[in-house]
Amino acid sequence: MAEKRIGILTSGGDCAGLNAALRAVVHRAIRGYGWRVFGIRDGSMGLMNRPLDYVEFDLSVVSGEMLRLGGTILGTINKGDPFAYPMPDGTKKDRSSEFVEGYQELGLDALIVIGGDGSMRILNKLCKLGNVPMVGIPKTIDNDVAHTDYAIGYVTALSVATEAIDRLAPTAASHHRVMILEVMGRDVGHIALSSGIGGGADVILIPEIPYSLEGIVAKIDDVRSEGRNHALVVVAEGCKTESGKSLTQLQTGGEARYGGIGQYLADKLGGLIEAETRVTVLGHVQRGGTPGMRDRLIASAFGVHAVDLIAQGKVDRMVAWQHGQVVDVPLAEIAGITRGVDPYGTLAHTARGLGIYIGESKA
């Protein structure tokens, strides 16, 4: 097979396991096919910057250290859509052609994009513009990418959230408190639901299922009447207030991010329950750290499969994990779909079966 030059980039919020995927891609491409691999820095920016910002990988990145390393050695961005790039004067500029020209200047034959659904959608649009063959690898702690049971980073984030509950439980018991843990997840509740079940929460609130303050209070009262002096509440950051308002906080740079639902609940519950309430917002700690075993495994499988797809000429596809197997699906089928928690699925049913209050939908 003729030598190919493939590019790889990470886009969107970072998470644990990205470097393991890079490692697998480099390993398979260089050792398996004798190709050259170019790592594009800072997502699409590396191809939009002049001079181009990239590194050619050699087999040194195939070392096992990459499996253990959190974050992404390539850097990433989760803002700055090239079709509407925010300029310093406040205007938006279409810089998509700079991306395509950058790709051509580097003489690439295909691009592997490691990203969430948002990045994948934008990058796929860019690639279509320049006839760039693209293969996507799903990653996001939110685990909301359609057609894959797991995205890279999710299970590590889940372990961090579960450990946080483990650590909150004894201090809750010591002080007879209700502990509220606010976890990430953007518009979906996968981290909250699974960590809440695994950590033994009494209340789990997720954006997919409406809740009431009365329901939360009734559950906490039940816990007390059964003789336990403390309770654990896990809430997904994307949950709305009872009146349907999303709570966000402005970050440096003016971008709004979810945040505040935990404190909102604490303030509301303050007047309704006797116990003291404390709030922990877990934040970006869920994205950092050493990747767990499941993420190392799927990242490795995804990386190998992505390169194999390019070798077979099967492009415009995303690798996915379904029923214990790596498979691939058309990129067009994941665009614009957010894979939320099924309010009537196994995990929601499990939570209800364990007596956890998860809101008001019918079982």
From candidates 258, 302, 321, 357, binder to ligand F6P by CB under 6 A? 258
Query: Of the listed pieces 180-188, 195-203, 296-304, 341-349, which binds ligand F6P according to CB under 6 A?
Result: 180-188
3-class secondary structure, 335: coil
From candidates 186, 230, 296, 305, binder to ligand F6P by CB under 6 A? 186
Q: Is the peptide bond before 51 cis (omega within 30 degrees of 0)?
A: yes
Smallest separation (angstroms) from ligand F6P to the CB of 315 = 26
Q: Give CA 259 to chain center in angstroms.
A: 16
Q: Name which of 258 and 302 has its Cβ closer to ligand F6P.
A: 258
Alpha helices per DSSP H over 203-362: 213-225, 261-270, 293-311, 346-353
Residue 247 near residue 260 (C-beta atoms within 8 A): yes
Q: Name which of 186 and 230 has its Cβ closer to ligand F6P.
A: 186
Smallest separation (angstroms) from ligand F6P to the CB of 202 = 23
Q: Name which of 185 and 199 has its Cβ closer to ligand F6P.
A: 185
Site for ligand F6P in 16-45 (CB under 6 A): none
Residue 265 near residue 235 (C-beta atoms within 8 A): yes
From candidates 185, 262, 292, 359, binder to ligand F6P by CB under 6 A? 185
Q: Does 13 bind ligand F6P (CB under 6 A)?
A: yes
Residues 6+ apart with CB under 8 A from 198: 158, 162, 165
Site for ligand F6P in 320-349 (CB under 6 A): none
Work out whether the CA dihedral 281, 287, 288, 290 comes out positive or negative. positive
Site for ligand F6P in 271-310 (CB under 6 A): 287
Q: Does 249 bind ligand F6P (CB under 6 A)?
A: no
Question: Would you tell me the crossing angle of helices 117-129 and 96-105 to the nearest 10 degrees?
Answer: 70
Q: Name which of 132 and 155 has its Cβ closer to ligand F6P.
A: 155
Smallest separation (angstroms) from ligand F6P to the CB of 276 = 28
Site for ligand F6P in 74-93 (CB under 6 A): 78
3-class secondary structure, 178: strand
Q: Name which of 70 and 116 has its Cβ closer to ligand F6P.
A: 116
Cα–Cα distances in Å, from 359 out to 263, 280, 362? 18, 21, 9
Q: Name which of 255 and 333 has its Cβ closer to ligand F6P.
A: 255
Contact string (CB under 6 A) for ligand F6P, positions 119-148, x = contact: ---------------------xxx------
Q: Do you know the residue count of the chain?
A: 363
Got the DSSP string for 34-94? --EEEEESTTTHHHHSSS--EEEE-GGGGSTHHHH--S-TT---S---GGGEEPTTS-EE-
From candidates 257, 290, 293, 333, binder to ligand F6P by CB under 6 A? 257
- Catalytic-labelled residue, pool 42, 142, 144, 328: 142
Residue 204 near residue 197 (C-beta atoms within 8 A): yes
Does residue 14 carry a catalytic annotation? no
Would you please indicate which residues are annotated as catalytic (active-site) residues? 142
Residues that bind ligand F6P (CB under 6 A): 13, 78, 116, 140-142, 184-186, 237, 257-258, 287
